[in-house]
């Protein structure tokens, strides 16, 4: 073969490879709020007969992710609050999702080692003993976070001028989180290593290599369960934020943060913070339980914190899960008919909320894949209840549906800003 022919062949090969590299690829981004903590579906709250207890649900999350999200590229999990569950999910899904990141991963390398630290330290002991005493004597049956904190506040005073909220402000944040999320016995359990906390409860799983790692708490001075976000860059996908935002915990504002005075204001502040942190990124995805439900003209979707969604949309984000209902009635991702939620809400004429979102900016959304009626974006992750007398029965892991969005990714979307 002469040199000219060899050069021509090489040129054609390079051109062919470039065509392949530039070829648009479809990616699937999913989010799921697992609500893995003992106070969720607590036997004291009367739901123990219709939903699955924490220990049982936790043991099935890895299997549910592997079986239901085989084709998914990136999964943002929320509600994985304890490191023992984080460890189970990371190791149980690593063949399908070899890359992961959380607040308990090394922020420089992304490597993960199971935590060896109890959530409460000796510096917290006096305060924890005071909380445990009140918990045992007055508030042991309160299961909702707002009712639990409210009971402690109303029932137990450390002295004439110092309340339980003052005690919480002096405890470490992981210690407070452990106490509020619940344990087997009482607050004293939080001195045990097995209750080591994964701050914010976030866990991101990926099929593709994570090249940049970032994590950050929202700028609240102190709160009962810390919220934040993971901000990563992933090969063949691009920039992804995995987050959980402030929920509405009831009519009475119960929190120990010092920066807001309502759940609405706190959620909006977090939305604005995410907009600010992503404002220089052209292509970006924000996935998670935003606890934001939009105002829709179709369907029986209850609104919540709609101004937070307005902040995202003003910044150029699309909300495919809500937008997919242009020709049909909307379907909830957190539904009042679910066993976990049906007695907790009294909202007539509404089916539930759309709390779970995959917001997209800069990517092309494959819209026909986001219709819930086609079963493409809304997945009920379930556990199998083995009842000897009844046979196998399927129950949801949480009241939330897993949702996912299909996007098209070009090389430029994830190679941008690579040095």
Say if pTM beats, i.e. exceeds, 0.75.
Answer: yes
- Give the Cα separation of 392 and 394 in Å (integer): 7
- Give the Cα separation of 198 and 82 in Å (integer): 5
pLDDT at position 72 is 93
Q: What percent of the chain has pLDDT over 70?
A: 75
In a 10 Å sphere around its CB, with 0-12 CB exposed, 13-18 middle and 19+ buried, how is residue 368 labelled? exposed
Average pLDDT over residues 50-61: 79
For the chain, what are the domain ranges? 24-111+199-415, 122-191
Give the pairing of strands 284-289 and 334-335: unpaired
Taking alpha carbons only, the member of 71, 76, 73, 79 closest to residue 54 is 79
pLDDT at position 50 is 56
303-334, pLDDT tens digit by residue?
A: 999 999 999 999 999 998 888 665 566 778 88
Average pLDDT over residues 169-197: 86
13-54, pLDDT tens digit by residue?
A: 444 443 444 456 899 999 999 999 877 776 554 444 456 778
Residue 129 has pLDDT above 60, yes or no: yes
Residue 138 has pLDDT above 60, yes or no: yes
pLDDT at position 204 is 98
Domain 24-111+199-415, second-level architecture: 4-Layer Sandwich (3.60)
Average pLDDT over residues 205-218: 95
Q: What is the mean pLDDT of the chain?
A: 81
Do residues 191 and 132 lie in contact, with contact meaning Cβ atoms separated by under 8 Å?
Answer: no
pLDDT at position 1 is 53
Q: Where are the beta strands (DSSP E) in 164-227?
A: 203-206, 210-212, 215-217
Alpha helices in 214-305, H assignment, sequence order:
263-277
- Give the Cα separation of 272 and 257 in Å (integer): 17
Q: Can you say how many angstroms the Cα of residue 415 is from the centroid of all Cα atoms in its chain?
A: 27
Instruction: Take residue 160 and report the two structure tokens written for it.
Output: 């004439």
- Give the Cα separation of 125 and 315 in Å (integer): 45
């Amino acid at each position: 073969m002469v040199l000219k022919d060899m050069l021509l062949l090489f040129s054609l090969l390079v051109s062919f490879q470039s065509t392949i590299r530039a070829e648009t690829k479809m990616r699937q981004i999913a989010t799921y709020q697992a609500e893995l903590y003992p106070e969720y579906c607590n036997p004291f709250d009367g739901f123990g007969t219709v939903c699955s207890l924490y220990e049982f649900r936790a043991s099935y999350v890895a299997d549910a992710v592997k079986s239901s999200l085989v084709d998914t590229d990136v999964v943002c999990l929320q509600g994985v609050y304890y490191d023992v569950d984080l460890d189970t999910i990371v190791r149980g899904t690593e063949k399908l999702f070899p890359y992961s990141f959380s607040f308990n991963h090394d922020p420089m390398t992304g490597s993960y080692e199971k935590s060896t630290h109890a959530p409460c330290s000796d510096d917290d002991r006096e305060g924890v003993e005071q909380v445990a005493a009140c918990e045992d004597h007055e508030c042991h049956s309160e299961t909702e976070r707002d009712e639990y904190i409210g009971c402690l506040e109303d029932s137990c005073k450390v002295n004439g001028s110092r309340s339980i909220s003052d005690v919480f402000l002096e405890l470490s944040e992981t210690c407070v989180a452990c106490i509020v999320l619940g344990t087997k016995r009482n607050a004293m359990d939080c001195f045990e290593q097995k209750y080591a906390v994964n701050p914010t409860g976030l866990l991101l799983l990926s099929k593709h290599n994570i090249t940049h790692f970032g994590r950050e708490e929202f700028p609240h001075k102190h709160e009962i369960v810390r919220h934040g976000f993971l901000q990563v860059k992933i090969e063949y996908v691009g920039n992804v934020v995995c987050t959980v935002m402030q929920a509405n915990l009831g009519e009475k504002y119960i929190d120990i943060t010092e920066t807001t005075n309502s759940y609405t204001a706190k959620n909006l502040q977090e939305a604005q913070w995410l907009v600010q942190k992503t404002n220089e990124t052209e292509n970006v995805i924000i996935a998670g339980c935003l606890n934001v439900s939009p105002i829709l003209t179709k369907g029986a979707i209850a609104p919540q914190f709609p101004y937070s969604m307005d902040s995202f949309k003003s910044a150029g984000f699309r909300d495919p899960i809500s937008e997919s209902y242009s020709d049909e009635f909307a379907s909830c991702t957190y539904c009042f008919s679910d066993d976990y939620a049906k007695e907790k809400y009294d909202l007539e004429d509404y089916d539930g909320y759309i709390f779970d979102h995959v917001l997209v900016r800069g990517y092309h959304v494959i819209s026909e894949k986001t219709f819930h009626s086609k079963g493409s974006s809304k997945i009920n992750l379930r556990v199998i209840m083995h009842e000897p007398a009844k046979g196998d029965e399927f129950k949801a892991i949480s009241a939330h549906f897993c949702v996912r969005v299909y996007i098209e990714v070009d090389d430029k979307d994830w190679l941008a800003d690579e040095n």
